Amino acid sequence: MELNKYQQELFDHQRPVIEKYGRRAWGWSIFYLLWIGLGGYALYLQVIKGHKITGMRDNVVWGLYIANFIFFIGISYAGAVISGILHILKVEWRKPIIRIAEMITVISTIIGPIFILLCIGRLDRLHHLFLYPRLQSPITWDVLAILTYFAGSVIFLYLALIKDFAIYRDANLKVPKWKQKMYKILAIGYKGTPSQKRHISISMNLMAIMIVPLAIIVHSVLSWIFGMTLRPGWHSTIFGPYFVLAAIYSGTGVLIMAMWVYRKMYKLNSYLQDKHFIYLGYIMMILGAAYGYFTFSEYLTGWYGSEKWDSEVIGKLFNPAEYGWWFLFANVAGIILPILIVAIPKTRTPNLIAIASFFMVLALWVKRYLIIVPTLESPLLPMQDTRPEFVKYSATWVEWALTFAGIATFFLFFTIMSKFVTIIPISEFADKEKKSEPVPEIQKEIATE
Amino acid sequence: MKKEEEISNKARRDFLKTTAIATIAATACGSLACSCSSKKANVGEKVKLLSPDGEIVEIDSSYLNHQEHMAIVSKLEAREGIAGKKFVMVVDLSRCKNARKCVAACQKWHYRTEDKEWLTVKLMKDSEEGAPYWFPKQCFHCDNPPCVKVCPVDATFKRQDGLVLIDNERCIGCKFCMAACPYSTRVFNWSEPELPFDIKHQQYSPETGIPGKVGTVEKCDFCPDRSREGLLPPCVEACPNGVFYFGDENEDTVSNGDETVSFSQLIKDRAAYRFQEELGTKPRVYYLPPKDRQFPVERGYENLPDNLKERFKDVMEESNLLEKK
């Protein structure tokens, strides 16, 4: 593969990253593995002793695990929707960020479902889902949707990678033989002929068009696990779109954070430019406003109608002695903060946008927790139970250990993948650089805006 | 009026007939079982039994092999249900004084530890000024069951006789049914259930729910194994006040052990209601409103052990029933 000047520059910049699993990468990887090991131990205990060692009980049957499940499937929207929609709209500035976005998608789509498995009492009977499937159950919808979505996202990521694999194959990288071989196989003989280019381009367009509705289906179906029940705070028609929106929103936040980390770590300032943060910030602001609107209408209708059972849940969310502070945090950090940070020109800087994203993502995790737990703590019949752990949910160390193990797995997979492929796609960069102005000028332009 | 009485009488006769047949069957099985089991020392305690010829015979109780849960049916039968039946329950709230005999009987029959109740008695108070009343609650065996809808593996199912049962050899423990049930009926085996050795190794049937398994969901099953033997569920039998009426909607008969009455007449006369009708789940359990109550609410509270008192304390205090004492 012939590389042009810009591509060569970009490739040389990223070359050391994929050639060597450096000391820093090893250090972090071992750190992540320790967390995963702790999670593995917790899982072992949970399987041996039963779910008694979690904080879940007969009233609150789902807890942290399900919140994590929604969270990870949510952030997987980074690749699917952001990268998919930007691809369909042919937005040029997307090119340096699509790899990160699609990696987030694939990795979090692997981790999310693991959390729903942790919640299942009989892991030894998982095959029953395929032996005796019932199409009426939203869980079956979920299994179908997530598997399809995962396949779709892997294909979407891979299609964008083929050209790059060809570049790595031809570049004489100082990497072990097996890695060379792997690049060769994965490049599936791509040579950059016009017909190959056309095929990839058509496939990419098709996948981009397919991945967006698929993603919407996945999170709608996920929300219907809750929406289809007769519980206050769950049984809401808004739940499908609400979840989808929250998912795109949190996905954007994670994408911004990942960009910020990589830019710092590998000094990619001239590729992951300020404008990328600002443009994504705009997207985040719009999504934040829409998410805020959904949140407002969801709780306003419940509060105004003030049905007894609804009011009980909303009362808990508004009560400082129960979940009031968390609810406030979820809304301030999850809606108001990111909007303000992006809206005010002075605070519209990559660092602040990244910080706002961090709090927003955290707030959205809290929000998922607040969707699950207070509703389950408010059954229709009075609990009249004297066992405190049955009345109020509090996660045990086992659940926390597995939560952090999940986050560590996310980082570990990211670290490993970034050692195999360049974080900034090289081949994609070419077409753009030829016709557009050099990088520094764009930065200037943004600065004066 | 006369005609109705006749129907009611006939129903009672039918019921007694089935009971008698079941007793004979039980005896036959019992003697069969004892003939091949090892010899036992005579205890000297005589038991009167009805022989197949209609004679009353007296035999030594040591010859009886007590066979509980004998009606083991195939998995397929357990899913189909008992042909021609449509089980229904009526709970007379005006008679309940929270004696908790139903809970104890249920726990015993199903080998359940104290903390896992399939049948619970709640102290309900419908409005701020309303009077509290005792509210026993089993599974409602809804005709439009939200739990069955959401099960991804068909582990919980609705049978033709109206019962909603669980096959805990198929259940994957996702707990979705627990989240879907608005009545908090279902319980989960958070750890390996404590069971006697022989029960633990008994053959499992969805009709008995025994033995329970870790990581699966369970609930009240209306004891179809007892229905197959013509017996009433233990909770119905154990109640000293005849609160529970159990029977067959097709036959239009329900019995609380003391009296057998017409189901339709009972719910008509006493203005029966179903709990939270507006949820659309169509429960198979009807409640007779707590009007003209036989016992004051306090009667069900005073003699409770402290840990149980704790459950109802809030409601009792709210109703100013504790200060009066």
According to the model, what pLDDT value does residue B52 have?
66
**What residues have CB less than 8 Å from A197, skipping those under 6 apart?**
none
In this predicted model, what pLDDT tens digit does every residue of B12-25 receive, in sequence order? 555 545 554 544 44
Q: Distance between CA atoms of A84 and A207, rounded to whole angstroms?
A: 8
Could you tell me the two tokens for B93?
A: 């709230």
Measured between alpha carbons, how far is A337 from A342 in angstroms, rounded to an integer?
A: 9
Length of chain B: 325
β-sheet bridge partners, residue B188: B217
Chains A, B: CB pairs < 8 Å:
135
- List, run by run, the mean pLDDT of 10-residue segments along chain A (449 residues): 80 84 90 96 94 93 94 89 86 88 93 93 93 93 93 92 91 87 92 91 92 91 93 93 94 94 88 91 95 95 91 94 95 96 94 96 96 94 89 94 96 92 82 46 48
Fill in the DSSP letter of residue A345. Answer: G
8 A C-beta contact, residue B92 and residue B288: yes
For helices A194-227 and A138-170, the axis angle rounded to 10 degrees is: 150
Strands B133-137 and B120-124: antiparallel
Q: Does A50 touch chain B (CB under 8 A)?
A: yes
Residues in A touching B176 (Cβ below 8 Å): 137-139, 225
Residue B152 to residues A63, A339, B143, Cα–Cα distance (Å)? 20, 40, 19
HSE-CB of B207 using CA atoms within 13 angstroms: 25
What is the spatial distance between Cα A373 and Cα A87, in angstroms, rounded to a whole number? Answer: 38
pLDDT of B40: 47
Mean of the per-residue pLDDT values for chain B? 84
How does strand B164-166 pair with strand B187-188? unpaired
Task: State the Cα–Cα distance between residues B14 and B6, nearest whole angstrom.
Answer: 12
State whether the Cα torsion A187-A107-A81-A97 is positive or negative: negative
Look at residues A324, A424, A314, A302 and name the one whose alpha carbon lies nearest to residue A378.
A314
CA distance to A50, B176, B187, B311, per residue, from B190 (Å): 6, 15, 9, 22
Residue A401 pairs in a beta bridge with none
A434: enclosing H helix or E strand: helix A427-435
DSSP of A128-186: HHHHS--TTSHHHHHHHHHHHHHHHHHHHHHHHHHHHHHHHHHTT-S--HHHHHHHHHH
Chain A residue nearest residue B156, CA to CA: A134
- Tokens 């194994």, residue located: B225
| B277 shares contact with chain A (CB less than 8 Å) | no
Range list for CATH 3.30.70.20 in chain B: 75-288
Three-state SS annotation for chain B: CHHHHHHHHHHHHHHHHHHHHHHHHHHHHHHHHHHHCCCCCCCCCEEEEECCCCCEEEEEHHHCCCCCCCCCCCHHHHHHCCCCCCEEEEEEHHHCCCCCHHHHHHHHHCCCCCCCCCCEEEEECCCCCCCCEEEEECCCCCCCCHHHHHCCCCCEEECCCCCEEECCCCCCCCCHHHHHCCCCCCEECCCCCCCCHHHHCCCCECCCCECCCCCCEECCCCCHHHHHCCCCCHHHHHCCCCCEEEEECCCCEEECCCCEEEHHHHHHHCCCECCCHHHCCCCCEEEECCCCCCCCCCHHHHCCCHHHHHHHHHHHHHCCCCCCC
Place of tokens 């479902």: A113
Residue contact B180–A228, C-beta within 8 A: yes
Residue B141 CA: distances (Å) to CA of A140, B188, B271, B287: 24, 18, 20, 14
Residue B122 CA to residue A281 CA, distance in Å, equals 53
The whole-number pLDDT of residue A7 equals 83
Interface of B with A in 103-162 (CB under 8 A): 115, 120, 122-124, 137, 146, 149-155
What local confidence, expressed as pLDDT, does residue B199 receive?
A: 87
A442: three-class secondary structure by DSSP: helix
Q: Does A376 touch chain B (CB under 8 A)?
A: yes
Q: How far is the CA of B200 from the CAs of A12, B192, B203, B205, in angstroms?
A: 67, 10, 9, 12
Give B35's contacts (C-beta < 8 A, 6+ positions apart).
none
Nearest-CA neighbor of A62 among B151, B187, B176, B218? B176
Query: Which parts of chain B have pLDDT scores under 50?
Result: 1-3, 7, 16, 20, 22-40, 325
pLDDT the model gives residue A430: 59
Locate the chain A residue with the closest alpha carbon to B187: A58
Please write the tens of the pLDDT for every residue from B150-188. 999 999 999 999 999 999 999 999 999 999 999 999 999
Q: Is the separation of the CB atoms in B117 and B250 below 8 Å?
A: no
**CA gap A156, A173 in Å, rounded:** 25
Give the residue from B145, B185, B151 showing the smallest Cα distance to B171: B151
Q: pLDDT value at position A173?
A: 84
Domains of chain A, each with CATH number or no CATH: 5-127+134-382+391-426 (1.20.1630.10)
Nearest to A52 among B179, B187, B191 (CB): B191
Please report the DSSP string for A347-386 in residue order: G-SHHHHHHHHHHHHHHHHHHHHHHHHHHHTS-SS-----
Asked if A222 and A70 count as a contact pair (C-beta separation under 8 A), the reply is: yes
Q: Look up residue A356 and give its amino acid.
A: A
Of A59, A131, A139, which is closest to B174 when you measure between CB atoms?
A: A139
B192 at A interface, C-beta within 8 A: yes
Gyration radius (Cα) of chain A, Å: 23
The secondary structure of chain A in percent helix, strand, coil, rounded to multiples of 5, reads 75, 0, 25
B305/chain A closest Cα distance in angstroms? 12
Q: B75-288 adopts what CATH topology?
A: Alpha-Beta Plaits (3.30.70)
Give long-range contacts, CB 8 A cutoff, 24+ apart: A263-269: A263/A350, A266/A13, A266/A14, A266/A17, A266/A423, A267/A13, A268/A13, A268/A423, A268/A424
| Tokens 């499992």 belong to residue | B204
DSSP state of A306: -
Q: Residue type at B241?
A: N
Q: How far is A321 from chain B (nearest CA, A)?
A: 19
